[in-house]
Structure 1
Amino acid sequence: MPKGDLVISADFGTSGVKVGVVDDDLRLLARATETYPLSLATGGIAEQSPPDWWDALARALATLRAEVPALRDRAAALVFSSQLCGVICTDEQGTPLRPCLTWLDKRAAETGRALIGGFPSAHGYRIDKLARWLRIANGAPARNGMDPTAKILWIKSQEPEIYRQTRWILDVKDWLLHRATGRFTTCPESANLTWLMDTRPGQEGWSPALSAMTGIALDRMPEMVDGEEVLGPLTKQAAEDLGLAPDTLVLGGTSDVTAAALGSGQVADGALHIAAATSCWIAGFMPGRVLSVASSYATLTSSLAYRPLLIASQENAGSALEWAVRVSGGETEGEALKGAFDNMGAPQEDDPFFLPWLAGERVPVDNDAIRGVFHGLALHHDACALRRAALEGVALNLRWSYGKLMRERAIHKDGPISMVGGVAANAAFAQTVADALNREVWVGEARHAGVLGTATLAAKTLGWAASACDAAATLRTRTTGVFAPDPARVEALAARNARLEKIRRHILKSYP
C-alpha cells in the first residue's frame, strides 16, 4: 500500500489548472486555481506554451502546501486530467519544438478537408476513406481541422523542419506526464482523436492501416496506458519542482471528458450527464461503440479499460454567455457574471432568439464556418432581453443535440440528469436546461467535478474502492441543487423551440 492518505488531483483546462487535495471520502480538503496564457491570432491560431502548464501546477501546489499540513508527506498519488486535441512536437528528451496547437486552433481546417475529401463523397468525406475510418476507429477527423490529424499534417507541410526534428507527438496530459515521470505515454481518448487508433473491442491500439491512409508514422506516437495504471514515482527533478516527495506515485490519468463523467457520478451504461463550461457536452458510458455520422457524435474510447464514452460536444456555452453579458455592458468577472443572469427579469413572449455559434459548431452540425445570430431584434429590446435570449439560446442549442441522442436505444430516457462544470453552478442556467429538456437536473460538485473525477483514478491503488467507477458512483447523489422542470416554462420553451428550429434551418442554409 502506498504511503500517505491523500491524492493530489490536477485538471488542466484551456485557461488554467484546478488542483485539489482529496481524501478517501472523495472530499476536497483544499483547492487552488492557477491560470496560464492562451495566445490567439488571426487565421485560427490558438497556442499555449507547455512549460506554462507545469509552472502553474507548481504555483498551485505551493498554495496547497501552505493550507494542508504535511502535504508533501501525506500525498500518496498525483493524477492529471486535461483538455484534448492538443499537438505538441518534442525532441527525444521531450523538449517542445514549438508551442502547442490547442484544441481551439483551427488553422488546419483546409488541410483537414483535403485529407478527408475526394470523389465520390458523402457528408464531405471520400466514401472509401470514411468507410475505413468508421470501421476501424468508429469515427473520422472533423471537417473543421481541430482534431490532431489535420494539425499534424499542417505542421508536416507548413513547418517541415519542425516535423523532421520531431521524435514524439504528444497531447497536453502526455507532455505533463513525461515532465513528471520521464515516460512517454498517452491515454486512449487522445489516441482515439488522432484517428490513428483501432477502437474495435479486443483490437485496441495504433492502426497501421490508418497510419498508411493519413501518412502519419506511428513511431512518433507514445504508448497507450490505462488511466488507473501507476506509471511510477515522480522524478527527482519533478519532485523538487512541485515540492512533493520523490516516492509520490503518478497515474496514467485521463481526459477532461472522462474526468467530468467520473465526477458527475453517472457511471452506469446509458446514464447521461451534461458538462457545461466554456464549451458544453452531453456524455455517458455506453455498453458498446455508438456512431452517428449525420449528427457528428460518437463514442470515444475512454481510459477506463477502453470503455466506450459517448460524447456530443458543442462549441459554445459559457463563452457565449460571457460574450452576451460583455457586449450588453455587463461585468464578467467572478460573481458579476452570475448576477447578470439573476437580475435580467422574466422571459417575454417576444424576446429575440439566439443561436450561440460564435465559434462554429460540432454537434449535431459539424461546421466551423457557421456563426452566431440574434434573430427578431426590436427597438424596445434592452440588455436584459439579450441576456435572456443568450441563456435560452444555449439551453435550446443543448436541446437540439439532446434530441438527436435520445434516438439511441441504450440511453436512459427518464430520471434526473446530472450537470457539472462552472456554468452549471449558475442556477438560472440550470433551471433553463431543466425546462428546455423537460427533465430534472441535479447539479453536483459543479466547479470541481473534474478534480474529483480525476482523483477517483487513484482509488484502486490506494485501496479506497475496487475501481474508479465504484468510487465515482458515490458522487452521484452529492447534489448542491435540484432543478425540477416548471410545466409553464416547459410549454413556453417547447413553443419557442419549434419556431427556433425553422429559423435554424434557414440560417444553416446560408452557410456552405
Structure 2
Amino acid sequence: MGTYVLTYDVGTSGVKTCLYHLTDLITLVASALFSYELSILDNGGAEQDPADWWNAMQHTTKQVLQDSLIPADQIGGISFCAQMQGMILVDREGQPIRKAMSYMDTRAAKEHREGIMHGMKIAGVNVFKLARSLAITRAVPASVKDPVWKYTWVKRNEPELFRKVYKWLDVKEYLLYKCTGEFVMTEDSAYATLLYDSRKGRKTFSKQMCKMFGVEINHFPRVIKSTEQVGTLSTQAAAELGLSVGTPVFGGGGDAALIGVGAGAVAEGDTHIYLGTSGWVSTVVNRQLIDTTNMIASIVGAIPDRYHYFCELETAGKCLEWVKNHLALDEIGIYLEKKQISETQETMYRSLYDYMMHAIKDVPAGSNGVIFTPWLHGNRCPFEDSNARGLFFNISIDTGKTELIHAVLEGICYHLRWQLESQDRKIKTSKTIRFVGGGALAPLTCQILADILGREIETVESPQNAGAIGAALVTAVGLGMIPSIHEAKSLVTVQATYKPNPRNKATYDIYFEVFKSLYSRNKKAFGILNNLSSRPDVFHASL
C-alpha cells in the first residue's frame, strides 16, 4: 500500500509543499506553492519574517490535502528541505526576537573584517584563526555572509534584543520547533554555522571555535541526523496545519544537503548542478577538503560519512527573474494580455519563462558578442566579494533584448563552469552531471550548460522538486521503508540527456576566458561604486 509523506521545500521566495506516495516508486500526488517577500535593506541586510514561512505552510498544506483528497490521518511522516545559513534567534518560548537574517545578508562587514581579517593574513584571513578553523571544522567563516557575523552584528548593534536570545536556529530548525516544540539542529545545519566539529568521534559544537568568535555555545540546540525523528506534530501545530496530532516529524535537511539526494547524485564522485534562485556545483567526496583560494569547502550533508565539495553562486535563477522583470517585460506583457498570440502558442507556453525561452531560442552561441556576469548580490566562489555586481559587456548598436536575455543564461553557465573547473583542481568531478532545479526545466538551458561545460548533462523527472524528493527519501529512511539514502541512486531515474555541441563548445571556450577576466578587471570599480560610494570623502579620494 505504501505511505504518504508530506515535504516542505522552504526557499527564499516561497514554500512549496509536496505530497508523495512512497512505494517502490516516489509518486507526486499533489503540490502547492505560496510566495512571500525577501526584504533587501539599504545597509546590506536581507530579511524575512518567520511568520511568513509558517503562514505559507498552512496555506499549502490545506491546498494539497484538498486537491489530493487524502485524509490527514494517512500522512505517515513530515520532513523539510530548506534554505540554509539563515539566522533565527529565538527566546525561551521559541519566539523570534527579530526578523530572520537571510543567507544573502551582508550588513556585518565591520564584524567580518574585525573578526577574521585583522592581523597577519593568508588568503585575506587571519593566520591564527584560519589555522584553528581548518584544524577543527575543515572550513573557515571567510565570507561576510556566514552566520557567525550575523550573530555578532546583532550582539553589537541590538544588545537589548540579544539579551533575550535562548537558541540560534536555521530556517528549517525554526519550523521543526513550530511543529514539535523541540529545539534541534540537523548535522548539515550545524556544520553550516562553521562552528561545528564534524570530525569522527567529536560531532559537537566546538568550544574553541565559539570562544574564538564570541559565540555563547549554550545558544545552540542538540544536533540530530537528517533521518532522525524530531518528535510528533503538536496539538497546536496540527490544528493550524490541518494535520493529525502525533504525525511523525523528521529532521530533513538544508537545500545543499538534500537536492543532491533528490537528483540521485549520492555515490562518491557524483556531481550535480543546481539552478534555482541560487545555484551551485556539488560533488560527493569521502573526506573533508578545502580550497581557501577558490573558497570551496566540503560540507556535511545527509549521507553518513560523505561530504559535498561545494561551490555556491549567490544569484543564478534570480538573474533570470531579474531579466524577466526588467528586460522581457514588454514581450511578456503582450503574452499576459493574450494579444497577437494564437491559441496554439497559448498552449505551447506553460509559463512566462517558457515564453522567454522560446523568444531567444534562435540566438547563436555567444549571444552575438555579449557577455553577462551573474553577480547581482555579490559572489562567494571562486572569489569572495560582496561588492561584485552584474555586467553586460560588449553591447553594440545592433544588440537587442534577445541577445541580452540569452547572455544572462550563458553568464550563469559560464560561472558554473568556472566553479566546476575549480573543483577539478582538487578532485575528479563526474563526466556526466545531473542537472536539477527550475533551470533544468528548460531544454535550452540544459543544452547551453552542456555546450559550455563540454559535459553530458542528465535531467530527472520534476527537477524543480529535487529538494522535496530528497526530503521524501530522508523520511522513507526514518520510517524504515528503505535502508539508506544510497537507495536514491536507483529510485531517481534519468529523464533526458543532453550532449555538448562541438561547434558551440569552441565558441564558448573563447568567451569563457573573457568572462573570467571581467572580475579582475573591474574589482576596484566594484569596490568604489558599491562600498565607498556611501562615504563621499573616501569615494572622491579613490577617484
TM-score (norm 2): 0.90
Contact 2:476 2:482 in 1 (8 A): yes
Residue identity over aligned pairs, in percent, reads 30
Give the aligned CA root-mean-square deviation in angstroms.
1.8
Of 461, 467, 481, the match for 1:450: 467
The alpha-carbon deviation at position 306 of structure 1 amounts to: 5.5
1:351-378 Cα offsets, whole Å, 9 max, x none, are: 2111111111111001111111111111
Match status 1:218 vs 2:234:
no
Q: Please name the residue that 2:483 is paired with.
A: 466
Q: Distance in 1 between matches of 2:294 and 2:317?
A: 22
Q: Please name the residue that 1:13 is paired with.
A: 11
1:361-401 Cα offsets, whole Å, 9 max, x none, are: 11100111111111111111111111121111111111111
Q: How does 1:150-161 map to 2 (within 5 A)?
A: 150-161=149-160
Match status 1:138 vs 2:153:
no
Contact 1:9 1:455 in 2 (8 A): yes
Q: Identify if the C-alpha distance between structure 1 residues 327 and 64 changes in structure 2 by more than 3 Å, giving closer, same or farther.
A: closer
Contact 2:258 2:301 in 1 (8 A): no
Q: Identify if the C-alpha distance between structure 1 residues 348 and 102 changes in structure 2 by more than 3 Å, giving closer, same or farther.
A: closer
Q: Please name the residue that 2:541 is paired with.
A: none
The alpha-carbon deviation at position 161 of structure 1 amounts to: 0.7
1:170-215 Cα offsets, whole Å, 9 max, x none, are: 1111110111111100112221222211122222211000011011
The alpha-carbon deviation at position 462 of structure 1 amounts to: 2.9
Match status 1:405 vs 2:423:
yes
Match status 1:498 vs 2:497:
no
The alpha-carbon deviation at position 329 of structure 1 amounts to: 3.8
Unaligned runs of 5+ in 1: none
Query: 2:508 corresponds to which letter in structure 1?
Result: L
Higher alpha-carbon deviation: 334-343 or 62-71: 334-343
Contact 2:260 2:266 in 1 (8 A): yes
Q: How does 1:386-425 map to 2 (within 5 A)?
A: 386-409=404-427, 411-414=428-431, 416-425=432-441
Q: Please name the residue that 2:192 is paired with.
A: 193
Q: Distance in 2 between matches of 1:71 and 1:420?
A: 31
Query: 2:46 corresponds to which letter in structure 1?
Result: A
Q: Please name the residue that 1:168 is paired with.
A: 167
Contact 2:80 2:253 in 1 (8 A): yes
Contact 1:188 1:306 in 2 (8 A): no
Q: How does 1:342-353 map to 2 (within 5 A)?
A: 342-344=358-360, 345-347=362-364, 350-353=368-371
Query: 1:117 corresponds to which letter in structure 2?
Result: M
Query: 1:407 corresponds to which letter in structure 2?
Result: R
Query: 2:110 corresponds to which letter in structure 1?
Result: E
Of 18, 21, 26, the match for 1:23: 21
The alpha-carbon deviation at position 322 of structure 1 amounts to: 2.4
Q: Distance in 1 between matches of 2:231 and 2:19?
A: 20
Contact 1:458 1:468 in 2 (8 A): no
Q: Identify if the C-alpha distance between structure 1 residues 26 and 504 changes in structure 2 by more than 3 Å, giving closer, same or farther.
A: same
Q: Please name the residue that 1:100 is paired with.
A: 100
Q: Distance in 2 between matches of 1:221 and 1:306?
A: 23
Contact 2:410 2:448 in 1 (8 A): yes
The alpha-carbon deviation at position 449 of structure 1 amounts to: 0.7
Q: Distance in 1 between matches of 2:232 and 2:381?
A: 40
Of 361, 364, 367, the match for 2:385: 367
Other structure's SS at 1:27 match: strand
Q: Please name the residue that 2:50 is paired with.
A: 50
Other structure's SS at 1:443 match: strand
The alpha-carbon deviation at position 321 of structure 1 amounts to: 2.1
Other structure's SS at 1:165 match: coil
Contact 1:4 1:74 in 2 (8 A): no
Other structure's SS at 1:17 match: strand
Q: How does 1:255-334 map to 2 (within 5 A)?
A: 255-305=254-304, 307-330=306-329, 331=332
Q: Distance in 2 between matches of 1:407 and 1:40?
A: 35
Other structure's SS at 2:309 match: strand
1:11-62 Cα offsets, whole Å, 9 max, x none, are: 1000111111111221111111111222222111211111211111111111
Query: 2:4 corresponds to which letter in structure 1?
Result: L
Q: Distance in 2 between matches of 1:266 and 1:10?
A: 21
Q: Identify if the C-alpha distance between structure 1 residues 503 and 238 changes in structure 2 by more than 3 Å, giving closer, same or farther.
A: closer
Q: Distance in 2 between matches of 1:8 and 1:177?
A: 14
Q: Identify if the C-alpha distance between structure 1 residues 284 and 380 changes in structure 2 by more than 3 Å, giving closer, same or farther.
A: same
Query: 1:12 corresponds to which letter in structure 2?
Result: V
Query: 2:514 corresponds to which letter in structure 1?
Result: R
Query: 1:148 corresponds to which letter in structure 2?
Result: P
The alpha-carbon deviation at position 85 of structure 1 amounts to: 1.1
Q: Distance in 2 between matches of 1:463 and 1:186?
A: 21
TM-score (norm 1): 0.95
Unaligned runs of 5+ in 2: 337-349, 528-543
Q: How does 1:369-388 map to 2 (within 5 A)?
A: 369-388=387-406
Q: Distance in 1 between matches of 2:196 and 2:479?
A: 31
Contact 2:35 2:56 in 1 (8 A): yes
The alpha-carbon deviation at position 348 of structure 1 amounts to: 6.2
Query: 1:129 corresponds to which letter in structure 2?
Result: K
